[in-house]
Amino acid sequence: MSFWSGVDVRASERRAVSVIVGDSLAKADRSVTIEALLVEEGVLRQQGVGGEPLILWVDKVRAATAMTGGDGRAFFQYTPSKLGTFRVRVTVGDSPRVADAEGTGVLAVWERRRPILLVEGAALFASTEGGITPGLPLPVPLSMTVEKPAEHAAEELERLSRFYYHLIYLVPPGGAALKSVRQFREWLDQHKFPQGIVLSADPDVDGLRNLLERLRADGWENIKSGVGTTAAFAEALVAERLTVVAINENDRVKLPRKARRVKEWKEARKRLQE
């Protein structure tokens, strides 16, 4: 048993919590901020848990520690030394108040010259009729137990990432951005999509433009292309002079003239390799 302020606190009485870890994009030998969120599941919503110690683990090595703020968020500073895409783990430290818990995220340490492909999350889901979803972003959190991937999406993205692109998957933030990222990443793993990072962005033109500005301000100038399904995604990327492939058969969805409309993922991959 543990003692805290003279009160006997048994492990069985500690609050159950979850750790949610955001994905991060970094350069080798440059410090990067990794964000984590400690939450207690409530009846109606999640509640951030403040004042708790968290530990960041990279390659099974304890890399950094941080305390959660009043909103449950903690920020770690870490300097990666080698290129690659790694899973990182965040665990609860020694605490008499909350139970042990851990969460995982992705740390991408990329070589900046390799092109980056932005992948709109909505383009990865099949409709109930078996085709690509129409031109509206899917809400997050999604019903991950029933959502099926678009035909050939995982295989074609594997080909693109193996030989040419780094991948950034984009999802709407929903009610809690980090939770949206975690749920979507779990869905990607379940359906064997290739490794990449998951970022949240408002699915309108301004939200996507702001994301591009932040990435470029951090030195990621080699964002070359995007593949999606919504008009907003296509408009935002065409306005930034990026190559855009829109997987959308619905002629009622008006796309920018320079967006390349295709019917399915095999055709999308070919257009992105032209």
Q: What CATH number corresponds to the domain at position 31?
A: 2.60.40.10
The residue that leads in pLDDT, 163 or 157, is 157
Are the CB atoms for 211 and 199 separated by under 8 Å? yes
Tell whether the model's pLDDT for residue 1 goes beyond 50.
Answer: no
Give yes or no: residues 94 and 133 share one domain: no
pLDDT in the model for residue 141: 43
In a domain, 42, yes or no: yes
In the block, residue with structure tokens 């292309």:
225
Pairing mode of beta strands 2-4, 116-120: unpaired
The residue that leads in pLDDT, 137 or 114, is 114
What is the average pLDDT across 118-135? 68
Q: What CATH number corresponds to the domain at position 216?
A: 3.40.50.1000
pLDDT in the model for residue 138: 46
In a domain, 167, yes or no: yes
Q: Which residues contact 119 (CB under 8 A, 6 or more apart)?
A: 157, 167, 168, 169, 170, 196, 226, 227, 228
The residue that leads in pLDDT, 216 or 175, is 216
In a domain, 47, yes or no: yes
What is the average pLDDT across 141-145? 46
Tell whether the model's pLDDT for residue 131 goes beyond 80.
Answer: no
In a domain, 190, yes or no: yes
Express each pLDDT in 31-73 by its tens digit: 999 999 999 976 556 789 999 999 999 988 999 999 999 999 9
Per-chain mean pLDDT for the chain: 86
| pLDDT band of 178, cuts 50, 70, 90 | confident
Give yes or no: residues 169 and 93 share one domain: no
- pTM listed for this prediction: 0.86
In a domain, 2, yes or no: no
Give yes or no: residues 247 and 123 share one domain: yes
pLDDT in the model for residue 78: 96
Range of the domain at 68: 7-109
Which domain-ending residue is among 80, 109, 138? 109
Tell whether the model's pLDDT for residue 127 goes beyond 70.
Answer: no
Tell whether the model's pLDDT for residue 7 goes beyond 50.
Answer: no
| pLDDT band of 208, cuts 50, 70, 90 | very high
Give yes or no: residues 124 and 144 share one domain: yes
Give yes or no: residues 60 and 182 share one domain: no
In a domain, 180, yes or no: yes
Give yes or no: residues 150 and 255 share one domain: yes
Number of domains composing the chain: 2
Q: Cα separation of 48 and 38, whole Å?
A: 6
Percent of the chain with pLDDT over 70: 85
Give yes or no: residues 159 and 262 share one domain: yes
Closest CA to 193 of 106, 82, 109, 131: 106
Give yes or no: residues 154 and 257 share one domain: yes
Give yes or no: residues 127 and 240 share one domain: yes
